[in-house]
Amino acid sequence: MYHHVKNLMYAVNVGEPDVRFGRMLLEQFGGANGELAAAMQYTLQGWSCDDPERRDLLMDIGTEEISHLEVVGALIRMHFKPMKKELEDAEQDPLVAVVGGGGLNLFNSMGNPWTADYLKIAGELDVDLRNNIAAEARAKITYERLMHLTDDRGTKDALQFLMTREITHMKAFSAALESLGKDPFSIGKLPPTPGLVDEYYNDSTGEDPEAGKVGVGKWIEMNGLHVVDSPFSFDAKGSGLTVDGHNGHNGKSSTRPRPTSGAKLKTA
């Protein structure tokens, strides 16, 4: 059951409305990384979760995201006020001004309608929690970028609050993930192919135009990976990507599956 409290989770005060900035804020209202997407993603995950404690977490944060949506909506409404009266301001977003009367609707900053395709729901708890951590990170950086694009003090204060809560949620989702006690690379039920799972293909050749010759970082071996030569190479004329006869790192036989002899891969 949901209950609406008329007070905003964070009081919003816009000193100088800016229609252009209001349009940018729509990204956090009806965009891919916005508050509605977060609210729906976590809530739907919660409804499907069989783990009572983690279901409670998902429902708590999903509900808070609806409150965040309300805060973002209040900000947008205040920034959109001028477009109800001034042609120049209405021209900043005719879709909002003419079709929506200067009010809110579920569009992103480019006028594209919100879609459930934004949601990342796997139905596997550890995978969903990772999706949620990533979603909070994307939202945090979006708020950070928005804060750089406004000088309005009240707007900045509200965005600072919202940005901070994204980190809080990342901590909560990370704690829930770690509490499962699973190996970080143990995804699903079926094990990966031994040997193949630890091979890192060195698929970059030549020199970087800016940095020159750059090799594989030593840190790549931190999770048990080892570097092997790419199973593909350019032909002598450089005209296409072909499968070569290399058998793996240091000449040792690799467990990777081999395409049929002479097969070619199309390049963009």
* Residues 140 and 167 grouped into a single domain: yes
**Residues forming beta bridges with residue 242, ordered by sequence position:** 233, 264
* Residues 226 and 169 grouped into a single domain: no
* Residues 76 and 170 grouped into a single domain: yes
Mean pLDDT, residues 20-45 taken together: 96
**Overall number of domains in the chain:** 2
* Residues 243 and 172 grouped into a single domain: no
Q: Are 240 and 256 in contact (CB under 8 A)?
A: no
Rounded distance between C-alpha atoms, residue 264 and residue 239, angstroms = 11
Nearest to 28 by CA among 171, 173, 161: 161
Among 49-58, 91-100, 222-231, the range of highest mean pLDDT = 49-58
* Residues 232 and 140 grouped into a single domain: no
CATH of residue 103's domain is: 1.20.1260.10
* Residues 105 and 220 grouped into a single domain: no
Mean pLDDT, residues 151-176 taken together: 98
pLDDT of residue 264: 47
Structural domain boundaries enclosing 205: 196-265
Mean pLDDT, residues 47-57 taken together: 96
When the pLDDT of each residue in the chain is averaged and rounded to a whole number, the result is 85
CB-based burial label for 227 (10 Å; 0-12, 13-18, 19+): middle
Res 258 pLDDT > 60: no
* Residues 59 and 171 grouped into a single domain: yes
Last residue of a domain, one of 127, 144, 179: 179
**Tokens found for residue 92:** 């900043």
Res 260 pLDDT > 60: no
Assess if residue 3 is contained within a domain: no
Neighbour tally for 35: CB within 10 Å: 23
* Residues 45 and 101 grouped into a single domain: yes
**Tokens found for residue 41:** 């993603």
Over the Cα atoms of the chain, what is R_g? 25
pLDDT band at 240 (very low <50, low <70, confident <90, very high): low
* Residues 146 and 251 grouped into a single domain: no
Rounded distance between C-alpha atoms, residue 114 and residue 39, angstroms = 13
Rounded distance between C-alpha atoms, residue 232 and residue 203, angstroms = 8
* Residues 31 and 83 grouped into a single domain: yes
pLDDT cut 90: percent of the chain above it:
63
Assess if residue 238 is contained within a domain: yes
Res 249 pLDDT > 50: no
Assess if residue 72 is contained within a domain: yes
pTM as predicted:
0.81
Res 150 pLDDT > 80: yes
Of 67-81, 141-155, 203-217, give the lowest mean pLDDT range.
203-217
Letter string b/e over residues 152-182, b meaning 16 or more CB atoms within 10 A of that residue's CB? bebbeebbebbbebbeebbebbeebbeeeee
